[in-house]
């Protein structure tokens, strides 16, 4: 595919399953996914994954809320490996923008993944902050935008235009909700899309005969009803 596929998750077995697939070109995670996966030692988890995956980009997020502590954590995380991208939220919990921090880190050579972005104003400011800096991913949460009833595609297209001034930055379509989003991202020329293992596994359905798929669905319902012993 033209769009790069990054696997999003924090379950080691799932990460390693995706690592075996040639079409998966990178990995992302975040503190929420780690917590759901039962991870309690952030550093140990990250070092374990990096030992297994030394050759594809992996994003690990800072979890501080004060910018000076975010910066300290970012510099520490960046030292974990040459394939590490440090996730910096576009703002902190007090709604203070992270642009100055993003600029400092980018200029100092830290590979960034600027995350939780949902407005064109944010994309415009981040594009300016990273211009001329280190390689970075600009993660726009298209799935969450769609959750509000807004079509994210026009915004993603405009984001691509805004990032033309910063060739070191790649637009990342974050939080997809269905396989269709992968094809939509590819159609507009988005650089990267992240997806969970469940979504990525459905890519093998491309071109499937829909009548066959209909019959398989009917068989599934029938077999499950029989297995459950339903009677009326």
Which tens digit of pLDDT belongs to each residue from 115-174?
999 999 999 999 999 999 999 999 999 999 999 999 999 999 999 999 999 999 999 999
- List, for residues 7-34, the tens digit of each pLDDT value: 999 999 999 999 999 999 999 999 999 9
SS3 148: coil
pTM, two decimal places: 0.93
- Residue 197, pLDDT above cutoff 90: no
Walk me through the domains of the chain, giving residue ranges and CATH numbers: 4-205 (3.20.20.70)
H-assigned helices in the chain? 12-19, 31-36, 42-52, 67-78, 99-107, 120-130, 142-147, 153-162, 180-188, 197-201, 210-228
How does residue 201 score in pLDDT terms, banded at 50, 70 and 90? confident
Instruction: Retrieve residue 120's tokens.
Output: 């064109």
pLDDT on residue 1: 79
Return the closest-CA partner of residue 49 out of 68, 78, 29, 69: 29
């Amino acid at each position: 595919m033209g769009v790069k596929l990054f696997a999003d998750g924090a379950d080691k077995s799932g990460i390693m399953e995706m690592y075996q697939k040639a079409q998966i070109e990178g990995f992302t995670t975040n503190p929420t996914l780690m917590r759901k996966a039962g991870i309690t030692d952030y550093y140990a988890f990250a070092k374990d994954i990096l030992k297994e995956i030394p050759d594809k980009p992996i994003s690990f997020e800072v979890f501080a809320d004060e910018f000076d502590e975010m910066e300290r954590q970012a510099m520490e995380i960046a030292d974990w490996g040459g394939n590490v991208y440090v996730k910096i939220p576009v703002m902190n919990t007090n709604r203070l923008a992270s642009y100055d921090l993003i600029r400092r880190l980018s200029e100092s050579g830290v590979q960034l993944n600027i995350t939780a972005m949902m407005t064109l104003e944010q994309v415009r400011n981040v594009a300016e902050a990273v211009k001329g800096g280190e390689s970075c991913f600009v993660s726009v949460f298209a799935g969450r935008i769609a959750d509000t009833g807004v079509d994210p595609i026009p915004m993603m297209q405009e984001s691509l235009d805004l990032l033309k001034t910063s060739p070191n930055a790649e637009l990342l379509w974050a939080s997809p909700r269905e396989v269709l989003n992968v094809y939509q991202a590819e159609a507009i020329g988005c650089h990267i899309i992240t997806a969970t293992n469940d979504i990525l596994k459905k890519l093998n359905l491309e071109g499937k005969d829909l009548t066959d798929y209909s019959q398989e669905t009917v068989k599934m319902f029938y077999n499950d009803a029989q297995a459950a012993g339903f009677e009326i």
